[in-house]
Copies of this chain bind each other. A is one copy, B any other.
Amino acid sequence: MDNKEAIVAYARKTVPITELEAIEFASAFKEILVKKRQFLIQPNFTAKSRYFVLNGSLRAYVIGDDGQEHTIQLALEEWWISDYNSYIYQQPASMFVVALEDSRLLEISYDDESKLKAINHQFETFFRLLAERTAASMQRRLISNLTKSAEERYELFIERYAEFTRRFPQYVIASYLGMTTEFLSKIRNKRVKQKS
Interface residues of A (CB under 8 A from B): 62, 64-65, 68, 70, 72, 84-85, 88-89, 94, 117, 121, 124-125, 127-128, 131-136, 138-143, 145-148, 178
Complex Cα distance, B125 from A138, in Å, reads: 21
Closest residue of chain B to A89 (Cβ to Cβ) is: B136
13 A-B contacts (beta carbon < 8 Å):
A64-B147, A65-B147, A68-B147, A72-B146, A85-B136, A85-B140, A89-B136, A121-B121, A124-B124, A127-B128, A131-B132, A131-B135, A134-B135
A139 touches B85 (CB 8 A): yes
Which of B94, B121, B145 is close to A145, meaning CB atoms less than 8 Å apart?
Answer: B145
Inter-chain CA distance A84–B131, complex, in Å, is 12
Instruction: Determine how close the nearest CB of chain B comes to the CB of A142; give it in whole angstroms.
Output: 5
Most interface-central of A94, A125, A136, A178 (chain B CB within 10 A): A136
Report which of B94, B124, B131, B134 forms a contact with A121, defined as CB distance below 8 A.
B124
What is the oligomeric copy number?
2
Within 8 Å CB of A68, what residues of B?
147
Contacts of A127 on B, CB cut-off 8 Å?
128
Q: Which of B85, B117, B141, B143 contacts A128 (CB 8 A)?
A: B117
Q: Do the beta carbons of A141 and B142 come within 8 Å of each other?
A: yes
Residues A178 and B146 in contact, CB atoms below 8 Å apart: yes
Residues of chain B lying within 8 A (CB to CB) of residue A132? 88, 131
Task: Find chain B residues with CB under 8 A from A64 CB.
Answer: 146-148
Among A72, A88, A139, the most chain B Cβ lie within 10 Å of the Cβ of A139
Residues from chain B with Cβ under 8 Å of A94 in the complex: 143
6 shortest interchain CB distances as A-B pairs: A128-B128, A131-B131, A64-B147, A138-B138, A135-B135, A134-B135
